[in-house]
Chain A
């Protein structure tokens, strides 16, 4: 039996979701951001959503202080500074992010991770274990090369006892803005098949949308700005599935 979580900085956090992938560049950070935005939009007014992957003091991204963000990026003197650290130093920082930040009362904590199954992943799972995370959202793209890595991530989740909320297939098709033809640039079907093979829920496919990329780069709220985008229904649906799993109680 796990020891009861020590009263600490995560004591006021209701639900913790890790966003993982064995593969790089599949859209973990994108999906983490969009999930945070979508949870905020789908939830009732006044709910607080915090996104974290590394950091010190939360930086609030909006005036209502409903979303805050933490990242090692805020600790760098210059944005191009390289963080050339080996495992032990990274682990120490991750532990501090979990225990030394005054999170306060949160409905959701979304944890964005780098690709792989190594130091960062072990460190964050260990640090969050006492707080019973809701589980992991695992992101892949449709191609076999991606699925090949993400299968290993699912094994990691099993080994460390982290429940998989489901698989999200990102970059699932591109609709040409000129002629509406849909091209499967990164193949198709891999995500659903992976979920079936691993016996975990398939949460949905998110298509490629350059507007989504642009919004992220310009720091704009995609969910607010692009309800007509082909990516919008997919992202909202995924967020809704998570809300159904982890409701925040009576309004």
Chain B
């Protein structure tokens, strides 16, 4: 089910609708007329929808497997511990949606109402949305090209009835491609507080994360800060510390200093984190005294402080 030809030059390209590969594409007329290059009306619609959402945070990493979803989920858990704080967690990883499992919501379905799609509520003040909820089997593969993924992300932002939300956390797949561009573009008019970037200490990770930081600069996305995950391991038997993912080039600390972005904190490895995620439970409940929990809480506090400083001037929820 292809929406665009393989060699699509891109709807905003000068060749849109005119290139050789455009022949036979159902969108050819639209592109050739220039209509496709016009600003997407969804951007305004999303701006309206986002008026009831106070703070929007993107959780990014250039690198896969560093703990973005784990972090997003626990940021949501942490913020939602205050029952007066409304939290929304949006998973825009279309091919590998991990959030339903990590939040213990596998198998839940999305319902439509008059005001749009309803998020799946874990608690009264914690709502979640993911493409995972739209798939009927855990084996289903979402084999979609960029444009279709972008369409899904647009729907998530425009058609989900989030209600009054204090924090919208957007969990992303690794990289700097369609999903990231779409999230930033669709939220462009709605003011994103910023990005929290996750890394592990190794240079292989940092190399990708530097690119992510550059991506943020390119698209003018403020950076709230960097979290260094999997930062050291304490053996449960002998209590001695080892570095599994060696910070051969100084880890996130040196990178943040060089690139002048805040280091929000370092989270050590704790085998109970992975287990909690697999069981769909909050690690904070499972291991409240773990150094990892303490690190997370400190980081969450710093994020809250950063968001309150970024309260946009002249905008408030009670109409202006």
A residues neighboring B (CB under 8 Å): 22-26, 29, 79-92, 114-119, 121-123, 126, 141, 143-145, 148-149, 151-156, 159-160, 174, 176-179, 181, 183-187, 208, 210, 213-214, 216-218
Contacts and interface: CB of A to CB of B under 8 A. Distances in A.
B141 A152 contact: yes
A181 B237 contact: yes
Given A22-B95, A80-B214, A145-B101, A86 B142 contact: no
Given A23-B96, A186-B274, 9 more contacts: A22-B96, A25-B174, A26-B65, A82-B212, A84-B218, A115-B174, A178-B242, A185-B244, A216-B204
Contact of A217 (B140, B204, B214): B204
Contacts, number: 200
A89 B247 CA distance: 34
Contacts of B311: none
A65 to B, nearest CB: 25
Contacts of B277: 143-145
B248 A218 contact: yes
B237 A88 contact: no
27 contacts: A23-B64, A82-B218, A83-B176, A86-B10, A88-B4, A88-B10, A89-B10, A114-B64, A115-B64, A117-B141, A117-B143, A126-B6, A144-B101, A148-B98, A148-B138, A152-B140, A156-B141, A176-B242, A178-B238, A183-B233, A184-B271, A185-B233, A185-B271, A185-B274, A187-B271, A214-B248, A217-B246
Nearest to B273: A185
Interface stretch (B32-40, B108-116, B144-152): B144-152
Contacts of B96: 22-24, 115-116, 149, 152
Contacts of A117: 95, 141-143
A126 B65 CA distance: 27
A152 B122 CA distance: 25
A143 B65 CA distance: 12
Contacts of B64: 23-26, 114-115
Chain B's interface size range is 35 or more
Contacts of B212: 82
A217 B208 CA distance: 13
B284 interface: no
B146 A88 contact: yes
Contacts of B141: 22, 117, 152-153, 155-156, 159
A115 B146 contact: no
B237 A115 contact: no
A176 B95 contact: no
Contacts of B95: 22, 115-118, 149, 152
B238 A82 contact: no
Interface in B148-183: 149, 173-178, 180-181
Contact of A210 (B8, B173, B214, B243): B243
B242 to A, nearest CB: 6
Given A145-B98, A210-B245, A87 B145 contact: yes
